[in-house]
Structure 1
Amino acid sequence: MSTTLTLSTFDAPARPLNIPLPIDPPEGGWTWPPTSVTLIAGENDAVLIDTLPTVEDAADLADWIEASGKRLTHIFITHGHIDHYLGTAPLKARFPDVKVVSTAATAGIIAEEQKTKRDTTTYSAIFADDLVEEVVIPEALPADGRFDLEGHDIIGVSAGQSDTSESSYAWVPELSAVVVGDIAYNDVHAALIETTTPETRKGWIATLEEIQGRNPQVVVASHRKADAVNDAGALAKTIEYVELGDKLLSTDPRPTLAEFVARMVEANPTRANVTTAIYSGAVQGLR
């Protein structure tokens, strides 16, 4: 067993999109948010949390892992959004012995995507960059979610609702760290796209509060500014964001799309990727 674990992130930039909305894009154009993936490393081996979907970012990520000198033993996928799992195939090609794992719920969602190609087709049409095409289905973790990194526990925890209906996070007890996928966003606008009811938004808040109950010292969100501090503040601030979004989306009459975006930006002036706020409001039916 190595004496300690380390945590580092690979930070991919925002990527241009071609979104077919009948409204003007924000300054700088439509963009996919900046995305980080996390490497938990021991003395010789390492575990990667999530992947990156574009061909370019996936190749750069593989180079970064190779340059670390660590043997990649596992890739843990937090949930079934393509920007988290679609980059798995290039990593398996580079690191053929790696084991890809997730919760059973996430594995099921990805297996369905492999059959239908629904999301892959949709997002390939709007990304300006080339996306990885092959979908790799993870192996479901045992019920306790545990897998090993040089004798240290990494635990994949089923969390249910976040910005999608089935999420999970990686809990690293030794580091008091949680790698939360899309459960929290760190200084980037959060996606209120699939949480279409007050109940789902309250479910997301409950998930965040459950993670707060672990009192983590390190919290790594997938969508974060590259210079954001990886601490528990991301959990509290995401709760505030979702609460405000729920308040605006639950009012009668509802705000216009412009009013909704203005309120979200006013309350969150430093958050990156206004595209997400605009798209969230539009998908929720605001005009």
Structure 2
Amino acid sequence: MGTTLTMSTFDAPARPLNIPLPIDPPEGGWTWPPTSVTLIAGEDDAVLIDTLPTVEDSAELADWIEASGKRLTHVFITHAHVDHYLGTAALKARFPGVKVVSTAATARFIAEEQKTRRDTTAYAAIFADDIVGEIVIPEALPADGRIDLEGHDIIGVPTGQSDLSESSYAWVPELSAAVVGDIAYNDVHVPLFESSSEARRGWIATLREIQSRAPQVVVASHRKTDAVNDAGSLAKTIEYVELGDELLSADPRPSLAEFVARVVEADPSRANVTTLIYSGAVQGLR
């Protein structure tokens, strides 16, 4: 194990959406947030954390991996939101030997989606761009969560609640790095769509659990391309979810306009206000 690991991100831009809400869209229209996936590489081989949902971004991601000169051995899926796993089929077509893995809970969620096509149908309806249609069910990781990369450990850590009831992240001990999927958001608005107060408290507990590892590097899937990949995103996501919980649990609750204004005022640099407006609307704010 003479080499050290490296990390790099492929950053896909915000994508246009067609959201059927009876309110005016923000300036620039409704958008899906910018999305990053992370490649962890050794001397010859590499592991990818998550994929991208659109046909165009998936093709460009595959080109980027190929240009790295590394052999893609694994794709680790952090959780069962379709924007994180739909692109798997396109990568398997380009890299036939790749092994797709996740926690057992994530694999079960994806297997259920393959049967129902509920989320896939919903995403296809709102994305202006074509999304990948085929669903690939990951293999469940062993109990220790270990992925071997040229003798280096990458650990898939199950965490429970984030913006989904079952989530996970990739822990890279050698780099003191956590690739956290949707557990943290880095300078991008955080989805609080159908979350309950209990779920939001669980999400905060998950973020604090990752903080307890004292990571030096934290890579969120939804981040501004110039955002710093450090543990500050964990603390700022906690602040965001706490404020969201305070507002959504208030009696009386704020109007949608008041909710959006309060959250933007607290952190005005965050991108993709679509997520914030949609969160309030789904929560019943008007």
- TM-score interval, normalised by the smaller of the two chains: over 0.9
- Report the TM-score, using the length of structure 1 for normalisation: 0.99
Runs of 4+ in structure 1 over 4 Å off: none
Q: How many residues align?
A: 286
Please tell me whether the aligned partners of residues 2 and 43 of structure 1 are also in contact (alpha carbons under 8 angstroms): no
Is it true that 1:203 corresponds to 2:202 in the alignment?
yes
Q: CA deviation at 1:105?
A: 0.3
- Within 5 Å, which residues of 2 pair with 1:84-123? 84-123=84-123
Q: Which residue of 2 aligns with 1:156?
A: 156
- Within 5 Å, which residues of 2 pair with 1:160-171? 160-171=160-171
Q: CA deviation at 1:3?
A: 1.8
Q: Which residue of 2 aligns with 1:238?
A: 237
- Distance in 1 (CA, whole Å) between partners of 2:74 and 2:87 is 14
* Paired AA for residue 284 in structure 1: Q
Deviations for 1:176-207, whole angstroms, at most 9, x for unmatched residues?
A: 00000000000000000132x21110000000
- Distance in 2 (CA, whole Å) between partners of 1:279 and 1:160 is 24
Q: Which residue of 1 aligns with 2:28?
A: 28
Q: Which residue of 2 aligns with 1:271?
A: 270
Q: CA deviation at 1:2?
A: 4.1
- Distance in 2 (CA, whole Å) between partners of 1:88 and 1:73 is 13
Q: Which residue of 2 aligns with 1:129?
A: 129
- Distance in 2 (CA, whole Å) between partners of 1:90 and 1:252 is 47
Q: Which residue of 1 aligns with 2:216?
A: 217
Is it true that 1:7 corresponds to 2:10 in the alignment?
no
Q: Which residue of 1 aligns with 2:257?
A: 258
* Paired AA for residue 122 in structure 2: T
- Distance in 2 (CA, whole Å) between partners of 1:230 and 1:220 is 5
Deviations for 1:118-176, whole angstroms, at most 9, x for unmatched residues?
A: 11101101100000000000000011111100000100000000011010000000000
> 5+ residue gaps in structure 2?
none
Please tell me whether the aligned partners of residues 2 and 150 of structure 1 are also in contact (alpha carbons under 8 angstroms): no
Q: CA deviation at 1:220?
A: 0.1
Alignment RMSD: 0.5
> 5+ residue gaps in structure 1?
none
Deviations for 1:65-114, whole angstroms, at most 9, x for unmatched residues?
A: 00000000000000000000000000000000000000000000000111
SS in 2 for 1:147: strand
* Paired AA for residue 279 in structure 1: Y
- Distance in 1 (CA, whole Å) between partners of 2:239 and 2:48 is 29
Please tell me whether the aligned partners of residues 2 and 42 of structure 1 are also in contact (alpha carbons under 8 angstroms): no
- Distance in 1 (CA, whole Å) between partners of 2:243 and 2:2 is 44
Q: Which residue of 1 aligns with 2:75?
A: 75
Q: Which residue of 1 aligns with 2:139?
A: 139
SS in 2 for 1:180: strand
Please tell me whether the aligned partners of residues 164 and 194 of structure 1 are also in contact (alpha carbons under 8 angstroms): no
- Distance in 2 (CA, whole Å) between partners of 1:272 and 1:114 is 31
Please tell me whether the aligned partners of residues 217 and 231 of structure 1 are also in contact (alpha carbons under 8 angstroms): yes
SS in 2 for 1:163: coil
- Report the TM-score, using the length of structure 2 for normalisation: 0.99
Sequence identity, in percent? 85
